[in-house]
Amino acid sequence: MSGLVFVDANVLIYANDPAEPVKGSQAREWLARLWTDRSGRTSMQALNEFYVNAVHKIRPGMSAESAWEEVTRYLVWNPAPIDVPLMRRAHEVQRRYQISWWDSMIVAAALAQDCVILLTEDLQDGMVFGTLAVRSPFSAVLEQPAAGYVVPRAAPLHRARGRPRRVAARLG
């Protein structure tokens, strides 16, 4: 995989939710790959959302200490802070694409970190925001297979000496 991948809170939540074994497995596979490639990114907003949901919403919930330990793992990814430049960019994203404020904040954070993929379940798979493409971690594959065909090469139009070949049919 090439390029940076922004991970939204829902991917982190599924990776820790025992009630969602299939989605959890897929989320963990994505996260493992991003750790290996060192291409994962996130934001303080996503980490805050993960923490609250992990402790209070998923059942059985994580302890506050376990959720905090998980959050601190992702601090290594240097999460985008919520600051004035991010909020201004989010406002531009919201106006241009007509999406919710919270989704605009996530998109702005991914763009600010030069990510090429936004891994989330909250936006439509395949949406594009400039150089950022949305991918669902539950419908997208980790790597695209190589093309199964070869593009044929046309015969050169010039001889080795650089003169063109005669291709016009002789009229008789």
pTM reported for the whole predicted model? 0.79
Residues 90-113 have pLDDT tens digits of 999 999 999 999 999 999 999 999
Of all helices (H) and strands (E), which one includes residue 132? Answer: strand 132-135
Region 71-93: what's the mean pLDDT?
97
52-55: long-range pairs with CB below 8 Å, 24+: 53/9, 53/13, 54/12, 54/13, 54/16
DSSP string, 42-110: -BHHHHHHHHHHHHHTSSSPPPHHHHHHHHHHHGGG-PBP--HHHHHHHHHHHHHH---HHHHHHHHHH
The Cα–Cα gap between 120 and 145 comes to 22
Tell me the per-residue pLDDT of 39-56, one tens digit each, with 9 for 90 and over: 999 999 999 999 999 999
Residues 6+ apart with CB under 8 A from 39: 1, 3, 4, 5
Distance CA 122, CA 137 (A): 11
- For residues 75 and 41, is the Cβ–Cβ distance under 8 A? no
Average pLDDT, the chain: 87
Q: Give the mean model confidence (pLDDT) for residues 21-34.
A: 95
The CB-side HSE value for 165 (13 A sphere, CA atoms) comes to 8
Which CATH fold topology does 4-135 show? Rossmann fold (3.40.50)
Looking at the chain, how many residues does it have? Answer: 172
Q: How many CB atoms lie within 10 A of CB 159?
A: 9
- Identify the residue with better confidence: 170 or 25: 25
Supply the pLDDT for residue 60. Answer: 85
Q: How far apart are the first and last CA of the chain?
A: 59
Domain ranges, ordered by start, for the chain? 4-135
| Model confidence at 158: pLDDT above 80 | no
